[in-house]
Structure 1
């Protein structure tokens, strides 16, 4: 199936100062109308400047079966964007001298491999070497069943380290699951209680909390994947991600949260500087987001078929949050459109997409190895969408560009499957050939 539609945004490049920059609301409205008309995206956006919301929109359904529309106040699971909240709670505990960044996790988790070497700092900036928990055999078919903390620690304790602590960085949900337990053990309170006491109440967030089973009557929404039509996805049990991905929120609450965080209203500005110090692409629960000559910060999340992104540009005091409960069109493209709109940058949006046949995807699935790399690439399918991951790393979505060419839109890496049982992987202008094993 080809989706054909082209909408071009062209903005005159003029010399403007920050105060004269503003959104062209009609252009953004036309984007969301097109996404809705073409059935490419369901979700909500909020854009805030200097603490004032300057744009909001919601399209699609919270519950397709009962024809309940999404609204600006619909609450979504935000997935790994939760990690910004968890990082702030940990750094607050450090400020209160309840824990220290350089203490090891051995007293909390003696059965975790290398626990005597891994520090709280290593967990925060993904330098622990602890294997990704969702890659465990126990979660091969998802995580719809509740897991006790004892069960989760048992699973994590079976992992060998992916690398020696603090020698490199690699994203792992395990780090933030363990940080959640450290917070709970330290305060003798649940993560939900700490979130409420230290962030939600002080900031007066109206629609943010630790999630549970989806409740449509509470203005929450289901998530959907597209397979000729929208299909309701299963629900992950929040006992598995905890502080790595279990928060429910709205875009307007997220923009308020990130604004207050950068104002020093949750943690001190000194702690914020630590949080936003980037090493090997990772900060403490946050990443850098460069855009032309502007420097922002971002985190994105994925859980079930929910997806989120929260960004902030400190110099401009510009916050953008996008959450979707079903998308064919990637949220990063919407984020780029919004930023291009605000910063008066030329940008074109092309909805002429390619949807590969499932049988073509199945021929690609497998494990690939290269004589020029120590890493293997594992290609898999979930809900008729293609995913890849390198050895011991998290899954990422591959967006189809044509029958044989795919892209990891967040990193810009390209995958060419044009030759049978081979991948030509391209990153930063360099190509490496991988062979199916």
Structure 2
């Protein structure tokens, strides 16, 4: 058994080294390559301490191997100005991890016959005909899967992460498509902005309430919120960007949750505990079961690792200066440590 685990770890590390070093060679500083290749610490606790030594302000990690109690790790600062240490129950902005919740809600509405994912954007939002190219050809399924060709509003020249836009959709109206529908993949936050609008219109009320009623409450996820305006800001981990002294916690950037709530959701999503059989099959045809998140000051990763039957969620409250690569390296090293412990 130990030999098999060691062989598995060796193959995983070799494959990861090839991919990571190639990416680092092209995109990131060489110190990341040196760090990635450095010896692994023996424990996750030591790895989280190394993360602080690599320059992140704070890190929270949730590890839940099925059949065991979850483990929590926290290092660095919850708030560096006030010298408050990081702690596992803090709230955190989860960025695009919320797309998993959106896709789950869309699945439930589709299974209930209230939405048809094979109808077009124009069917649900006819006012966008002529304003979003191919609106009459782009299906909701393509939007869920980022195969619509609709430009990503966060990639436009005029987008600023520090600004709260009344309607970011305006940034991409009347602009050319990135590609023809269903001919390519292009990650676009605009897809999910539109899907949320469609869900709210069909429901006749805010889709976030539907997510709360149909997903969060049944799962007992009482520490997940759709906005910073719903929480006590003192419980929200501060968010920092390299080279700036600002704390970006007050910006309203979408969903906020604890690491345990996100981890419990990922378990439920992968195990299908809040889907019936029809919903489970539909979701599997639509979207993925893990995600990363990035908003100003906050980076997150939430995934289920089937080979070790473990969910690992990582929150880091520092971004900028290639820290996206660094956070992935830290996460991958944690997975290797857990694999080696089998």
TM-score by length of 1: 0.62
Cross-structure match for 1:135? 155
Shift in CA distance, 158/233, structure 1 to aligned 2, threshold 3 Å? farther
Provide the rounded CA distance (Å) in 2 between the counterparts of 1:32 and 1:313.
19
TM-superposed CA distance for 1:309, in Å, is: 0.4
2:185 alignment partner, SS class: coil
Is the CA contact 2:93–2:256 (under 8 Å) kept in the aligned structure 1?
yes
Shift in CA distance, 39/153, structure 1 to aligned 2, threshold 3 Å? closer
Cross-structure match for 2:141? 121
2:299 alignment partner, SS class: strand
Provide the rounded CA distance (Å) in 1 between the counterparts of 2:259 and 2:233.
19
Aligned residues: 301
Whether 1:255 and 2:263 are equivalent positions in the alignment is yes
Whether 1:14 and 2:10 are equivalent positions in the alignment is no
1:15 alignment partner, SS class: helix
The structure whose residues are more often helix, as a share, is 2
Cross-structure match for 2:94? 78
TM-score by length of 2: 0.79
Q: Deviations over 1:254-294 (max 9, x none)?
A: 111011112222333554444445xxxxx62x2xxxxxxxx
Whether 1:264 and 2:255 are equivalent positions in the alignment is no
Is the CA contact 1:46–1:322 (under 8 Å) kept in the aligned structure 2?
yes
Q: Deviations over 1:382-407 (max 9, x none)?
A: xxxxxxxxxxxxxxxxxxxxxxxxxx
Is the CA contact 1:213–1:237 (under 8 Å) kept in the aligned structure 2?
no
The structure whose residues are more often strand, as a share, is 1
Whether 1:95 and 2:111 are equivalent positions in the alignment is yes
User: Which of 1 and 2 has higher RCO (CA within 8 Å, sep 6+)?
Assistant: 2
Q: Deviations over 1:39-97 (max 9, x none)?
A: 43512000112264442101122222222222111011011111111111101111111
Q: After the TM superposition, which residues 21-100 of structure 1 pair with which residues of structure 2 at under 5 Å, given as runs?
A: 27-37=43-53, 39-50=55-66, 52-100=68-116
Provide the rounded CA distance (Å) in 1 between the counterparts of 2:258 and 2:173.
35
Is the CA contact 1:250–1:323 (under 8 Å) kept in the aligned structure 2?
no
Q: Which runs of 5+ in 2 are unaligned?
A: 7-39
Bigger radius of gyration = 1
Provide the rounded CA distance (Å) in 1 between the counterparts of 2:184 and 2:55.
41
CA RMSD, 1 decimal: 2.9
Provide the rounded CA distance (Å) in 2 between the counterparts of 1:62 and 1:250.
13
Cross-structure match for 1:306? 298
Is the CA contact 2:237–2:249 (under 8 Å) kept in the aligned structure 1?
no
Cross-structure match for 2:328? 332
